[in-house]
Structure 1
Amino acid sequence: MNTSALAQTGRFRARRAAKGSVTEGAARAGFAARGVIYLLVGALALQIAFGDTKEQADRGGALAAISQKPFGAVLLWALGIGLVGMALWRLSEVVFGSVGKDGRSARKRLMAAVRCVFYAFVAYSVLSFAASRHQSGGGSSDQQSRDATARALELPGGQWLVGAAGLAIVAAGGWIGVRAVLRKYHDKLRLGQMGPRTRRLVDVTGVAGGAARGLVFAVAGVFAVRAAIDYEPDKAKGLDDTLRAFADTPLGPWLLVGVAAGLVLFGVFSFAMARWRRV
C-alpha cells in the first residue's frame, strides 16, 4: 500500500513538473515574440521619423516586414505560436494564480484575464496573417481604431463608452510608465542570476522602454477621448497615427525618434524578460 501511494505521489510530482516546464516555455516564447514585434515597430517608427518609409509603424507593418524576409513565413508562424504560448500562460495565471505573495488575489487574476484576452487576439491576428499568405493583417491599427470607435459611438451612450475607454487607456499608459520608472519589474525578475552590467542594461531598457510604451498608450487614449467629445470617430488613432502625431509637435521628428528608440528598447527588455522572468 505504501509503495502504491509513493508511486502515485511520484506520478503527481512528475506531471506537475512537466506542466511547470511547459508553462514556463510558453511564457518565455511569448516574451520573445513580443520583443520581436516591438523591435520592428520601433525600427519602422525610426524610419518614419527620418522620412525613409511609408510602411505602417504598427503590428501589421511589422508582420509585413517579416514576411518579406527569407524564411518570413516560418518566422510569422513562430511568432504566432509564441504569442499563443503567452496567452496560455496568462490563462494559467487566471486558473492557478501567478508568482508572488498575492499572486492568487482576485485583482491579479483579473489582470491576467485581460492580458490573456489581449494576447489571444494578437496571436490570432498574427496567425491569420501567416495563414492568408500575407494578404491581410486585419487592416491597419488606425483603420481598426476608427471602425471600432464609429461602431461604439452608434450605441446608446456611445460617447460615454468611448470616453470611458479612452480614459482607461490613458490610465493604463500612466500605470505602465510609472511602474517602469519605479522599476516594479524587479519583483518579477531573477536579479540574482544577473551580473552588474547585465542588471544595468536591463534597467536602462526596462525604464526607458516601459516609459515610452506607457506614453504611447496614454496619447492613444487622449485621441479616443477627443473622438468621444467631438463625436468624430476619425479622431481616434491607432498605433501608427499615434506615433506619427509625435512628429507633429514643436519638437518635430525628434520626439518621435525618442519614442521609437524607447520601443526598440522595450523589445530588448522583452528578451530580458524571456530570459530572467520568474514564471
Structure 2
Amino acid sequence: MTARVLTGTGRAKARRAADGTAAEGAARAGLTARGVIYLLVGVLALQIAFGTGNREADRSGALEELADKPFGSVLLWALGIGLVGMALWRLSEAVFGAVGPDGRKAKKRLASTARCVFYAFVAYSVLAFAASPGNGSGGSSDQQSRDVTARVMEAPAGRWLVGLVGVGIVVAGLVMGVQAARRSYRKKLKTGELAPWSRRLVDVTGIAGGVARGLVFAVAGAFAVRAAVDYQPDRAKGLDDTLRSFADTPLGPWLLVLVAAGLVLFGVFSFCLARWRRV
C-alpha cells in the first residue's frame, strides 16, 4: 500500500515537472516570436521615417519582410509555432495561475485569458500566411481597424463601445509605459542569473522599449476614441497609421525614429525575457 502511494506521488511529481518544462518551453518560444515581430515592425518603421520603406510597419509588413529572407518559409512556420506556444502558455496561466504570489487571482487569470485569445489569433494569422504566402496576411492593420470599427458602430450603442474600448487601450498603454519606467518587470526575472551587463541590457531595453510600446498603444486608443466621438470609423488607425502619425507632429520624422527605435528595443527586451524570465 505504502509503495503504491509513493509510486503515485512520484508519478504526480514527474507529471508536474513535465508540465512545467512544457510550459516553460512554450513561454520562451512565444516570447522569442513576439520579439521577432516587434523587431521587424520597428525596423520597418525606421525605414519609413528615413523615407526608404515600402512596406507597412505592422504584422503584415513584418511577415512579408520575413518571407523574403532566405529560408523565409521555415522562419514563418517557426514564428507561428512560437506564437502558438505563447497562446498555450497564457492558457496555462489562466487555468493554473501565473508566477507570483497573486498569480492565481481572478484578475490575473482574466488577463491571461485575454492574452491567450489575442495570441491565438495572431498565431493563426501567421500560420495562415506561412501556409499560403501569396494570399497575404489578412490585410493591413489599418484596414482591419477601420473595418472592425465600422461594423461595431453599426450595432446598438456601438459608438459607445468603440469609445470605451479606445479608452481601455489608452489606459493599458499608459499602464505599460509606467510599469516599464518603474522597472516592474524585474519582479518576474531570474535576478540571480543576471550579470551586471545583462542587467543593464534588460533595463535599457525594458524601459525604453516598454515606454515606446505603451505610447503606441495609448495613441492608437486615442484615435479610436476620436473615431467614436466624431462618429467616423475612418479615423480609427491600425499600427502602421499610428506609427506614421508620429511623423506628422512638430518634431517631424524624428519622433517616429525614437518610437521605432523603442520598438526595436522592445523586441530585444522580449529576447531577454525569453532567456531570464521566471515561468
Q: CA deviation at 1:133?
A: 2.8
Give the aligned partner of residue 202 of structure 1: 202
1:22 is matched with which residue?
22
Residue segments in structure 1 that go unaligned for 5+ positions in a row: none
| Matched residue SS, 2:51 | coil
Percent identical residues: 72
SS of corresponding position for 1:270: helix
SS state at 1:143 partner: helix
Equivalent in the alignment of 1:259: 259
Structure 1 residue 134 displacement after superposition:
4.0
Give the equivalent residue in structure 1 for 2:219: 219
Report 1:78-97 matches (<5 A). Answer: 78-97=78-97
Counterpart in the other structure of 1:73: 73
Aligned to 1:36: 36
Q: Give the counterpart letter for 2:81 in structure 1.
A: I
SS state at 2:163 partner: helix
Give the SS at the match of 2:118: helix
Indicate the residue corresponding to 1:139 in structure 2: 139
Deviates more, 1:6-15 or 1:221-230: 6-15
The residue aligned with 2:52 is 52
| Distance in structure 2 (CA, Å) of the matches to 1:208 and 1:52 | 24
Preserved CA contact (<8 Å) 1:97 1:103: yes
Does residue 11 of structure 2 align to residue 11 of structure 1?
A: yes
Equivalent residue letter for 1:270: S
Alignment check: 8 A CA contact 1:142 1:240 kept: yes
Q: For residues 122 and 164 of structure 2, what CA distance do their matches in structure 1 show?
A: 23
1:230 corresponding residue in structure 2: 230
Structure 2 match to 1:98: 98
C-alpha separation in 2, matches of 1:162 and 1:213: 21
Secondary structure class of the residue paired with 1:55: coil
| Residues 98-247 of structure 1 aligned to structure 2 (within 5 Å) | 98-247=98-247
CA RMSD in angstroms comes to: 0.7
CA–CA distance in structure 2, aligned partners of residues 16 and 158 of structure 1: 45
**How far does the alpha carbon of each residue in 1:184-238 deviate from its partner, in whole angstroms, 9 at most, with x for none?**
0000011110111110110000000000000000000010011111111110000
The 1:159–1:186 alpha-carbon spacing in structure 2 relative to 1, beyond 3 Å, is: same
Instruction: Report the Cα offset of residue 149 of structure 1.
Output: 0.4
1:54 positional shift: 1.8
Local SS of the residue matching 1:144: helix
Return the letter of the residue paired with 2:236.
A
Deviation at 1:35, TM superposition (A): 0.3
Partner-residue secondary structure (3-state), 2:135: coil
TM-score by length of 1: 0.99
Deviation, structure 1 residue 2: 1.6
The amino acid across from 2:56 in the alignment is: Q
Deviations 1:118-151 (A, max 9, x none): 1111111111111113421010000000000000
Partner letter of residue 117 of structure 2?
A: V
Aligned partners of 1:64, 1:136: CA distance in 2, in Å?
A: 8
Within 2, Cα distance between the matches of 1:205 and 1:159?
37
- Return the offset for 1:45: 0.2
Measured in 1, the distance between the counterparts of 2:101 and 2:146 equals 41
CA contact (8 A) 1:67 1:134 kept: no
The residue aligned with 1:269 is 269
CA contact 1:79–1:126 (8 Å) conserved in 2: yes
Amino acid at match of 1:99: V
**Structure 1 residues 179 and 134: alpha-carbon distance in aligned structure 2, compared to 1, 3 A threshold:** farther
Does structure 2 conserve the Cα–Cα contact (< 8 Å) formed by 1:64 and 1:134?
A: no
- Give structure 2 stretches of 5+ with no counterpart: none
AA aligned opposite 1:248: D
